[in-house]
Amino acid sequence: MAHTFIIVLVIATSISGLLWCIMISRRIINKDKEQIIQKPVNNVITISYKLQSWMKSIASIFPVLFLVFIVRAFGYEPFQIPSGSMMPTLLAGDFILVQKYAYGLKNPITQHTLIQTGHPHRGDVVVFKYPKDTSQDYIKRVIGLPGDLVSYDLLSKQLSIQPDFMNVKNCKRLLKVTYSHTNIDSQKFIKSNQDSLNDNINQEYIQALEPEGNRPVTRVEMLDSVKHLILLLNGEQKDFELKAKNGILHQKISWLVPENMYFMMGDNRDNSSDSRYWGFVPENNLVGKATAIWMSFDKKEGKFPTGLRLGRIGIIH
């Protein structure tokens, strides 16, 4: 849908711009405006007059379309959060602004980088083209940079990162990743989390838990210097050790991030389709950095909004 909109915007801007140039050139050649578009006598409206009036109307909106195109293609783009994979940072119904120029000025249609302006940092919340279907936009948090060895313990639900792993001098260096408790009430996420369980990627994992243990728990994750909240299903390590069945949960999985690739994860760690399941995100697929929530509707996934959440408007962490 987003790709279709930018194509339509490019076509509309190009057509109106062409007509705008034609009208300007005619005004230069014919200084007397009445000679360009002159009303017929006796109220007889000719086809020529209709056509010129129509062209003038389209040409008049070119400056507005051009401004919208520049802002939309290279500045900021609005996105709607459709699912709960980024809870508690982002909820279904949040409308966010994405900074398009954060990681380079790109061709809005081909995504080819025209001017490099920066690279993602660990902890950035990023919108990108889904590697397996670039017509879809995904939003996740950057966990691993090129060259990182990212490890995830499925029992303790904790990350460990070794930056620049292939460098012999740095291969044993660990990035500081810490976890702490929070006093945020996780009960409000229970229903939202259940409503968003629609991709079935974690069904074996969920079946490994007793029904009463399947409850959201919020934690504070400090990833290098970026502090943010994550959502876990019953995040107590002792519970997972008791309830893991028949090897369904392997204790630790590691990924070595290739050059020009990024490892992404959702903040809703047990209900997110991310790099753990479908692989890395190429740098060319990056759309921009999510910076702020500008509007939020109280809604369930796939349902109509029932109200506003004005308290959620603000900067994204």
Residue pair 301/196 in contact (Cβ under 8 Å)? The answer is yes
Residue pair 175/158 in contact (Cβ under 8 Å)? The answer is no
Q: Look up residue 132 and give its two tokens.
A: 């397996």
Q: What are phi and psi of 194, to 5 degrees?
A: -65, -40
CA dihedral 134, 257, 220, 266 (to 10 degrees): 20
CA 152/CA 156 separation, integer angstroms: 9
Task: Show which residues are catalytic.
Answer: 85, 140
DSSP secondary structure string for all residues of 223-247 = ETTEEEEEEEES--HHHHHHH--TT
Burial 22-58 (b: 16+ CB within 10 A, else e): ebeebeeeeeeeeeebeeeeeeeeeeeeeebeebbeb
Closest CA to 72 of 93, 95, 101: 101
Residue pair 211/234 in contact (Cβ under 8 Å)? The answer is no
Residue pair 84/90 in contact (Cβ under 8 Å)? The answer is no
CA 96/CA 89 separation, integer angstroms: 12
Whether the bond into 88 is cis, omega within 30 of 0: yes
In the chain, the amino acid numbered 144 is: G
Q: Look up residue 90 and give its two tokens.
A: 């982002």
Closest CA to 77 of 139, 152, 11: 139
In the chain, the amino acid numbered 298 is: D
Q: Look up residue 167 and give its two tokens.
A: 């460098």
